[in-house]
Amino acid sequence: MRSPISTLVALGACFLFLTIATGDPQRKTCVVQGGGTNATDDAPHILHAFRKCGQHGTVIFEPKDYYVNSVMKISWLKDVDIDIHGRLVWSTDIMYWLNNSMDVGYQNQSTAFIIGGDNVRINAFDVGTFDGNGDYWYQWIREQPNTSNYPGRPHAVTFSHLTNSVIRGLRFLRSQMWTMSIIYSENVILDSIFVNNTGNFAQSSNTDGADTIRSSHITFNNWTVYNGDDSIALKANSTDIKITNSRFFNGLGIAIGSIGQYKDQFETVERVTVDNINYDNTLHAFYVKTWTADQNGYPPNGGGGGLGYLSDVKVQNLNTTGLRGAAFSISQCTRFSGAPGVGNCTNSEFQIKNVEIDRLFGTSESTQVTGLQCSAVAPCTNITVLEANLRLTNGTQAKQYLCGNVVNTIGFECTGAACVGSSATGGC
C-alpha cells in the first residue's frame, strides 16, 4: 500500500500547478510549481495553468526557476493577473527552436512565446525574469553565413493581439534574438522593463529591446536596455507611440524602421513622442531607416519598394554620454547583412516629414549632429532641430549638420552633404 506521503509526492509530480480558492467564486488562482530541473519541460504545465486560470483569474509563478523547452502560445487571456516572482529559462536546443519557433506575422520573423488577450496585467515586481540563454545563440549565429535574421531564430516573446493591458517590472536576460515584438496590439503600457542582452562569452547581435508592428497606443516608460542593436524600434503602422524616462546603453538608439521593405505596400509611422531619455555609448539618439524603391530579395534580409510616410514625431530632452555617431540620422538606403544588391539610395517613395528634435545635450565622439540622407523622389520635409549642444571629448562643440534632399529645415542650417551609401544602422 502506498503511504499518504508518497501519494502526495506522486500527485505533485503529475500536476505542476495548484488551484487555490479565492473570495470571489468566479475567479481562480493557479500557482505554477515547476519541475525544478532543466531535464523537465515546464511549458505543458504553464499552458495548463493558463487554460484553467487565464480568464478572470490569477496565474502565479513562484520565486524559483521554470524551464521552458518548447514553444508556448497563450492567446486566449481575458481579465487576468499574472504575477511572476521567479525566472523562466529557455533551453539551449537550437535545432528545436529553429524547427518549431512560431511565425510572428512580419518579415518572416519567428518567436518562442506568444501572449495575447484583453485586460492582461503582468507584474514581475522587478525580479521576475525571462532568461533566453542567448549566449549559445550569439556564439552559434556568428558561425553562420547570415548573422542578421537567421530563419527560425526566435524572439524571446511576442505580444500579439494584446489590448488594454499593462506589463510591469519584467526583466529580460540574454534574449535569443529580439527581446520583444509587439504586433496587432493596442492600448498597452510597458513600464519599468529591464533588458540586458550582453553576452557572457559571446557578443550579441540583432537583440533589439522591443519592436512595434501594426500596433497603436503603446507606451514604453522607465526602460533600461543594454544591447548591441536598436534600443527600441518602431516598424510598419506603429501609431501613437510614447517612449519616456528611459536609459539606453551600448546599442544603436531609438529607431524608426526598417520600413518600406514590402514592395507596393503602404505603411506609416505616426504620432511618436520621445521624452527624457539618457544614452550611454549608443550609436545614435534617434534614427530612421527605410529601404530603397528597388526590390532586392525578400524579407527578412531582402526587400524594398515600399510606400508610405513617417510624420508627427517629437523627440525631446535627450542626454548623451559618448555618442558614437550622428545624434539624428536618416538613411533611406537600408541593406541588411546577406541582402542582395541595394539599388538607388535616393529613389525611395517613403517620405519622412514633420520630425522635431528639441533639447539635445551631452557628449559625442562624432562631429555630426545630423546625418540626413533622404530620398530625391520624396524629400524629407519640415525637419526641426532646436537647442542642440553636443560636446566632443576635447570640449569643442559638434557643429556638423549634414543633409541630402531635405526641404524646409527649422532651427538649423545644413553645413554639408550627407554620405550616400547602403546602411542598416544609419550613416554609411
Task: Provide the whole-model pTM.
Answer: 0.93
More confident residue, 328 or 21: 328
Look up residue 347 and give its three cell numbers: 529613389
Report the C-alpha gap between 143 and 428 in whole angstroms. Answer: 25
Mean pLDDT of the chain: 93
Give the integer Cα–Cα distance in Å for 158 and 55: 19
Contact (Cβ atoms closer than 8 angstroms) between residue 42 and residue 61: no
Residue tagged active-site, from 83, 131, 211, 229? 229
Q: Contact at 8 Å (CB) between 91 and 67?
A: yes
CA distance 363 to 398: 9
Q: What is the pLDDT of residues 136-184, one digit of tens each?
A: 999 999 999 877 789 999 999 999 999 999 999 999 999 999 999 999 9
Report yes or no: 23 and 50 within 8 Å, Cβ to Cβ: no
Does residue 229 have an active-site annotation? yes
Instruction: Quickly state the pLDDT bin for 299 (edges 50, 70, 90).
Output: confident
Q: How far apart are CA 406 and CA 374, in angstroms?
A: 7
Percent of the chain exceeding pLDDT 90 equals 84
Does residue 127 sit in helix, strand or coil? coil
Q: How does strand 110-111 pair with strand 102-103?
A: antiparallel
Sign, Cα dihedral of 315, 234, 114, 79: positive
